[in-house]
């Protein structure tokens, strides 16, 4: 079969790849589509993944084969699947850190969503696969995993009704976070440097002032001058942390969702201590949030309208990566 292979040094090539088959408890999917995630791009440019590798984990497919002992799915079913599943019983899992579970980090789809076919291992079939009913578009279902990551961030910020949250960056993840925080009862302000993304944030339900001075005024007005209960960074990297710190209330949370790596924190310990700030992060999501995310997308409680800006065939994945890097695409959806 064909797969778009990361061959090293950030290079993608359409290559032949051994076709997988389904064992007991497993599914073999014909990939219908796969979303391109910011973390795929981080893997392409970073050194955490050993080449050759096939990336892609926001996978929608059609069941070609269901292995023995898979009663929930049958050939022909459309499904959305995610790549990582925890063991549910180790110390990390029992303490609310499922994405730090060693089984979680070892689990994966075979080979990945940027291929014609994918094998879904048995734990993923049991806990991270959802049958897509007629009427739910593939692209909507493909947001299950990214939305799940956002829902986990909402929980980790401890957001409650009446909170005010500031979301920085209105790419696809920023727009999903806006909706997740609103569902938790928060008032959401948001910002992005790009005007078309500010429009997306507005459509997602955030208050999105045009200029920074207006944003600060709106934040003060919404919080009696306190600042946001949580500031969530999806863009800007560590350099945005001092800006975020100036807009979080005493006792509030700075949540580093994404935005790039950094060696040192540009925040003084004094400000963390005397203002009792929490600096948090979330890596990935658990099957609990995957199920919640799928349900919210199915009910239309979270919408993804306008987020997929580019649809590309597998052979043009590299082009999609460039579009995202240049911020010309919001979400790229790849179809074999």
To the nearest whole angstrom, how small is the minimum distance from the Cβ of residue 87 to Zn ion? 4
Distances (CA, A) of 299 to 36, 285, 334: 24, 20, 24
Angle, CA 202 vertex, CA 81 and CA 57 arms, to 5°: 15
Across 17-95, the runs of DSSP E, i.e. the strands, are: 27-36, 58-66, 78-81
Considering only 5, 27, 37, 70, the residue that binds Zn ion (CB under 5 A) is 37
Asked if 228 touches Zn ion (CB under 5 A), the answer is no
In this complex, which beta carbon is closest to Zn ion, that of residue 46 or of residue 185? 46
Total residues at interface with Zn ion (CB under 5 A): 7
In this complex, which beta carbon is closest to Zn ion, that of residue 22 or of residue 150? 150
Neighbour count for residue 245 (Cβ, 10 Å): 20
To the nearest whole angstrom, how small is the minimum distance from the Cβ of residue 237 to Zn ion? 18
Q: CA torsion, points 280, 229, 169, 261, in degrees to nearest 10? A: -20
Asked if 93 touches Zn ion (CB under 5 A), the answer is yes
In this complex, which beta carbon is closest to Zn ion, that of residue 14 or of residue 90? 90
Q: Which stretch binds Zn ion (CB under 5 A): 67-75, 98-106, 173-181, 327-335?
A: 98-106
Asked if 90 touches Zn ion (CB under 5 A), the answer is yes
Cβ proximity of 232 and 157 under 8 Å: yes
Asked if 87 touches Zn ion (CB under 5 A), the answer is yes
To the nearest whole angstrom, how small is the minimum distance from the Cβ of residue 97 to Zn ion? 8
Asked if 86 touches Zn ion (CB under 5 A), the answer is yes
To the nearest whole angstrom, how small is the minimum distance from the Cβ of residue 57 to Zn ion? 6
Cβ proximity of 26 and 17 under 8 Å: no
Rounded Cα distance, 18 and 2, in Å:
9
The footprint of Zn ion (CB under 5 A) covers 37, 86-87, 90, 93, 101, 146
């Amino acid at each position: 079969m064909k797969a778009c292979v990361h061959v090293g040094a950030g290079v993608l090539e359409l290559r032949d790849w051994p076709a997988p088959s389904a064992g007991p408890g497993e599914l073999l999917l014909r990939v219908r589509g796969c979303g391109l995630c910011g973390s795929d791009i981080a893997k392409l440019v970073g050194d955490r993944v050993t080449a050759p590798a096939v990336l892609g984990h926001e996978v929608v497919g059609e069941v070609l084969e269901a292995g023995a002992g898979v009663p929930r799915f049958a050939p022909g079913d459309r499904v959305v699947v995610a790549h990582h599943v925890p063991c549910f019983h180790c110390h990390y899992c029992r303490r609310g850190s499922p994405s730090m579970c060693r089984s979680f980090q070892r689990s994966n789809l075979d080979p990945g969503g940027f291929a014609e076919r994918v094998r879904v291992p048995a734990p993923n079939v049991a806990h991270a696969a959802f049958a897509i009913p007629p009427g739910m578009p593939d692209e909507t279902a493909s947001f299950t995993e990214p939305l799940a990551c956002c829902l986990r961030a909402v929980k980790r910020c401890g957001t409650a009704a009446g909170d005010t949250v500031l979301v920085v960056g209105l790419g696809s993840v920023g727009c999903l976070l806006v909706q997740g925080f609103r569902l938790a009862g928060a008032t959401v302000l948001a910002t992005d440097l790009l005007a078309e993304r500010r429009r997306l944030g507005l459509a997602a339900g955030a208050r999105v002032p045009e200029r920074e001075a207006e944003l600060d005024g709106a934040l003060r007005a919404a919080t009696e001058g306190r600042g946001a209960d949580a500031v969530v960074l999806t863009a800007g990297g560590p350099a945005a942390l001092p800006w975020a710190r100036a807009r979080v209330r005493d006792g509030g949370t700075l949540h580093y969702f994404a935005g790039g790596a950094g060696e040192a924190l540009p925040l003084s310990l004094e400000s963390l201590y005397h203002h009792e700030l929490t600096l948090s992060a979330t890596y990935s999501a658990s099957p609990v949030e995957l199920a919640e995310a799928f349900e919210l997308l199915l009910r239309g409680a979270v919408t993804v309208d306008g987020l997929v800006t580019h649809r590309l065939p597998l052979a043009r994945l590299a082009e999609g990566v460039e579009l995202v890097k240049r911020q010309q695409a919001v979400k790229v959806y790849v179809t074999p």
